[in-house]
Structure formats: C-alpha cells, structure tokens
Amino acid sequence: MNNKKMYYSRLRRGLISAFFIFILVPTLFVSWVTIYNLRKCAIQRIENSGVRMAEDRTDAVSQYLNKQIILLSTLAGMYPIKIMGDQPHLDQLFRSVNERGDVVDLHVIDSAGKQLAYVGPYRSSIEGKNYKDAPWFKEAMVAGKHVSDVFMGYRNVPHLVVAVTDPLKTYVFRATINSEKFNALLLRAQTGPSGDAYIVNRHGEFQTPSLQGTIELAAAEKNLLEYHEGTSTRTIGPFLYTSSWMKDGQWLLVVKSKISDSLGTFNERRNNSLMIITASSMLFLGAAVLLCRYMVGRLEQDDRRRADMDQQMVQVEKMASIGRLAAGIAHEINNPLQMITNQAGWIEELLPDEDPEAVKNLGEYQDAVTKIKYHVRRAGTITHRLLGFSRRMSAEKESVSVNELLEETVSFVENEAVNHNIIIEQLLDKNLPTTMTDGPQLQQVFLNLLNNCLDAVEQNGRITITTKADDTSISIEFADSGPGISAEVMKQIFDPFFTTKDPGKGTGLGMSICYDIMKKLGGKIEVKNNKVGGAIFTLTLPLKHLSESGQGDRRTSGYDESIY
Ligand code: ADP
C-alpha cells in the first residue's frame, strides 16, 4: 500500500518536474534572449542619440568660437591701429558689439606686445602689461588668430581668449569670452540625472566645468583622450561616453550618460514583460500541477478499481475451483452412500424376520441400522449441498414471486423455529413485483440464510425478513437477534469451508453458495452488523434480469444430479 502511495507521489513529482522542465526552461530561455536583444537595441538607441548630441554640441561650440573670431576679424579689418588703439573708440565699439554680453573685455595690443587700449572690468590689474612673450600673443602674430585653452589668468577667473590680428598684423585684437555663455552651450547635452557633458583639452584638463562637478578625469577615462576622427562611442563601467575632437584636435567634447538612467523605458517594458511572463508561467505551472494531480488521481482510482475487480475475480475463480472439486467429491461419495443406504434398508427389512430369541441383540442391530441411515442422510445432505454449490445455473428463468418463495422457505424451518422459541417476522412488501430469476437457486439462498440465522439466535429470539423494491431492484433483508459477526469472521464469511460451528454441524459452504448464486443471478449479497445487535444480510436482485447469468457456468462439469 505504502509502496503504491510512493509510486504515485513519485509519478506526480516526475510529471510536475517534466512540466517544469519542458515549459519553464524554454520560456525562461526565450524570455532571456528577447530581453537581451531588447536591451541591445535600447543601448544602440542610446549610443545613436549620444552621437547626435555630441555632434550637435561640437557644431554649436565650434560655431560659437568661429562667430567670435569672425566678429573680431571683421572689426580688425575695418579699423586701422590708430583708430582701434583709441580708448574712446574701443569703449564705443565694446558697447555696440557686446549687447548680448558674450564678451567680457576687449584688448588692443600693438605688434610689440604693448597694450594700446583696454575695455573691461580688469583695467587696473593689467595696466602697462607687455604680452610680447605670451604664447597666445606669439601664435596670434604668426597664425593671425588664436583661441586659447581655458586658463585662470591674472584675475584668477576662468578665461577663454580669442585673439586676431588686423590684416597687416600691426596689432592684436583680443577678446575674453564670457565663460558662462560658453559653458551654457553644453547644458543641453546632459542626459539623465547622472549624465555629464564637458570639454577637455589634450591633457585632460577641463575647459568647461563638468555638469556633475568632476574636476579630473578618472584613470579609465584617460583612454578617451586618444585621438580619433569623427565621433566615437565607448562604454566604461556603467557609463556610455560619446566624444568628438574639435578645435583642430585641441579640445575633446565628451557627452557622458549613465546607461541605466537612459534605460528607463526599456526597464519599464522589461519589468512589464517579466511580470506577464512570470504570471503566465505561474498560471501554466498551476494548471500543470492540477492536471498532473488530476491525471495521477484518475490513474490511482482506475488502478484501485482494477485491483478490486482482480480481487473479485480471484474470489470467483476460487469458488469455481472449489465448485469443480466439490462436484467431483460429491459425485464419488454419492454412490457408496447410496449403496450404504440400500444395504442398511435391506438389513432393516430383514431384521424383523429374525427370531428375537435366536438373535440376542436384535434391538441393538435395529438401532445401529437407524443410526447408519441417519448419518448417511447427513452425509447425503452435505454432498447435496456441495452439488448445490457446483450445480449448473439453469438458464431456465421463470417469473418468480419473491414473497411467495420466502413464505414457502420459511415454512420449511418454521417447526425448528417454534421449537427454539424463535419468532420469524415477515415484513413483506405487498406490491413487490415478480422478477425473472431462477426460483430454486434463490430458495437455496433463502434457506441457507435462514438456517444461519436460526443457528446464530439459538433460543428465544427473532428473525425479521423484509422485502422492498425500487425501480430497478428488489431487496430482501434477513436480520437476526443473534450475537452478530466479528470483524475476523466478516473477512472470511464468504470463503468456502469457512465455519465457526462444530465440525458435525457446519460445512462452511452456506455463505459461499449464497455469494455464488447471487452473483450468477446478477444480484449481490451484503452483510453487516445491526446497530441494535445481530447480523443483517441483504440480498439485491435485479428486477428485469432476463438475458444475463447462468449460461455456461464454468464450475459445472455436466454433473447429473438426478440420482438424488
Ligand atoms: P456454516 O453455516 O456451515 O458454518 P456458512 O458459510 O453458512 O457455513 O457460514 C459461515 C460462518 O459465518 C458461520 O460459521 C458463522 O460463523 C458465520 N455466520 C453466518 N451467518 C451468521 C449469522 N446470522 N450470525 C452470526 N454468524 C453467522
């Protein structure tokens, strides 16, 4: 039993595991591949937008610087040194060109590096300065223009200087660019809360303040400083860097974005997908578990039913074999019994002819003959029962009134009941329909049950016979006021030769014959203990049992019982 239970729970576990493996694993794999590809696409999109942003800002910064250079060059081309070096003129010029506040100051320096005029907030600190040795001055004089790196200058404020010469290179016209305006150009390049955008020179020094307040490139970020054409994209740690060289390879504009910040939409979609996948997987698995349980439950039920049927078959087989055996024995014993009876009868007949004087023990002989006949009759009863057990079920069905059959059977045992002060009460349904069945066989069952009830009650008791019918069957109940049946006896009560009675009294065949006959009649016999004491036997007979049963009883062996 336990083994069976373990087998089914193993089967259940096996099936559930198979479902897990064949449903969950492919689902997880496909989900992982899909999410991986979606992430790749999302990162590609982030890269593309980083590239666009970097190119856009590079253009903006370059255009801004070019605009300053063009403005200064135009002015330098318009005014000769004499006019440009005139302080009131420069003041006037500053006011007219700097309406938008792009320029902090203007400086006019002659070709020897001497300051000719200056307009701006730092006049006093630069008064009388000579710039001839300053690198920017030299470069401007040679190349005609100069755009500096950002430097702190004399005033300890970040400067970006743009300087041009007039066409004849008689002076240098220099402007300090408002770094706030310049820095503002990169503000638009910030992507996400951790994003950054800045310009560094070839040495990695910040030309614009980092939006995140970084003042120095991290070691890994130094790799960005390798020169490259166009716009390049690189991933360092959790960040994506898009960089583009500008100002003839002197400055590098970097747009830095944290990948996870930019994956917001992707993350949202991924989480939604994961939720749907998890929910549907759970649903699948729940359904799979229920299905497995149901399937294994059904299997278990079918197996149990089959085992029950097998057990019944065994019982039927057992009875069939016993039937064959019984028929053989009865057949063999019957003839000698017949002979003994005949001989005893013959002796009985002859004895009265003897002279009582000559035969001293005549009375004894007559007694002995009577005893022989009595015991042979008993033996005959047993063989008769054995044959009843094995007798072929006649296919001759007739319309039988169960009530009448019962009344007749009761009349057989009435005397014995009265002698033992046992009341046989008959609660018979007056409207009980007749049924097509084998009357003598059924009567045999009634008789066996009644005999058993009488034996169980012994003295001073009651046997109640009740009949009733429903649409499909008739039920006949025999309840007695005997001691009832113990669990041990109950288990074997239908086994042939099982008896609790004294050897002379019980054969142990009655109940097994009843079982067998009822089965063949298409009905059944059930036994239980009555709550108020005693045993109850219930016979159930089908109402229209016409076609089945009887034909070809395997236990019959063509035995001819006519000799009884
Ligand atoms: P037998 O009557 O020859 O013993 P049965 O097959 O008719 O054989 O009965 C088998 C056993 O079942 C009996 O020995 C008895 O122990 C038990 N039995 C049958 N009917 C009753 C009953 N009405 N009350 C109690 N026990 C019973």
Does the pLDDT at position 397 exceed 90? no
Query: Between helices 402-419 and 439-457, what is the axis angle to 10°?
Result: 30
Query: Between helices 2-19 and 264-350, what is the axis angle to 10°?
Result: 150
Compute the average pLDDT of residues 238-265: 87
Which tokens sit at 506? 């019980």
What are the distances in angstroms from CA 257 to CA 109, 192, 196, 217, 441?
43, 7, 6, 15, 99
Pairwise CA distance, residues 409 & 426, whole Å: 12
Compute the average pLDDT of residues 309-337: 76
Q: What is the pLDDT of residue 153?
A: 60
Does the pLDDT at position 325 exceed 50? yes
Q: What share of the chain has pLDDT > 90, as a percent?
A: 33
Pairwise CA distance, residues 323 & 58, whole Å: 110
> Is 554 close to ligand 1, i.e. is its CB under 6 Å away?
no
Compute the average pLDDT of residues 482-488: 95
Write the CB contacts of 472 (distance below 8 Å, at least 6 apart in sequence). Answer: 542, 543
Closest CA to 479 of 403, 413, 534, 418: 534
Compute the average pLDDT of residues 239-246: 92
CA of 290 to the centre of ligand 1 (A): 48
pLDDT tens-digit map of 183-229: 788 877 767 778 888 889 999 988 888 888 888 888 889 889 998 88
Pairwise CA distance, residues 553 & 519, whole Å: 11
CA of 501 to the centre of ligand 1 (A): 8
pLDDT tens-digit map of 86-131: 999 999 999 888 887 778 889 999 999 999 999 988 887 777 888 9
CA of 337 to the centre of ligand 1 (A): 27
Which tokens sit at 106? 């203007």
Q: Determine the residue of 493, 509, 512, 515 to mutate for testing ligand 1's pocket, defined as the one with the most ligand atoms within 8 A of the Cβ atom.
A: 493
Write the CB contacts of 79 (distance below 8 Å, at least 6 apart in sequence). Answer: 89, 93, 166
Q: Which residue owns the Cα nearest ligand 1 atom 4? A: 499
Q: Determine the residue of 318, 452, 490, 499 to mutate for testing ligand 1's pocket, defined as the one with the most ligand atoms within 8 A of the Cβ atom.
A: 452
Q: What is the pLDDT of residue 118?
A: 92
Computed over its alpha carbons, how large is the radius of gyration of the chain?
A: 60
Q: Determine the residue of 386, 449, 511 to mutate for testing ligand 1's pocket, defined as the one with the most ligand atoms within 8 A of the Cβ atom.
A: 511
Q: What share of the chain has pLDDT > 70, as a percent?
A: 91
Does the pLDDT at position 33 exceed 50? yes
pLDDT tens-digit map of 493-525: 998 888 998 876 777 888 988 998 898 888 999
Query: Contacts for 551-557 with beta carbons within 8 Å, 24 or more apart?
Result: 551/393, 551/395, 553/392, 553/393, 553/520, 554/320, 555/319, 555/320, 555/323, 555/324, 555/327, 555/390, 555/392, 556/323, 556/327, 556/390, 556/391, 556/392, 556/393, 557/324, 557/327, 557/328, 557/390
> Is 506 close to ligand 1, i.e. is its CB under 6 Å away?
yes
176-190, 224-238, 281-295, range with the lowest pLDDT: 176-190
Q: What is the mean pLDDT of the chain?
A: 85
> Is 485 close to ligand 1, i.e. is its CB under 6 Å away?
yes
Q: Which residue owns the Cα nearest ligand 1 atom 10? A: 499
At 359, is the pLDDT very low, low, confident or very high (cuts 50, 70, 90)? confident
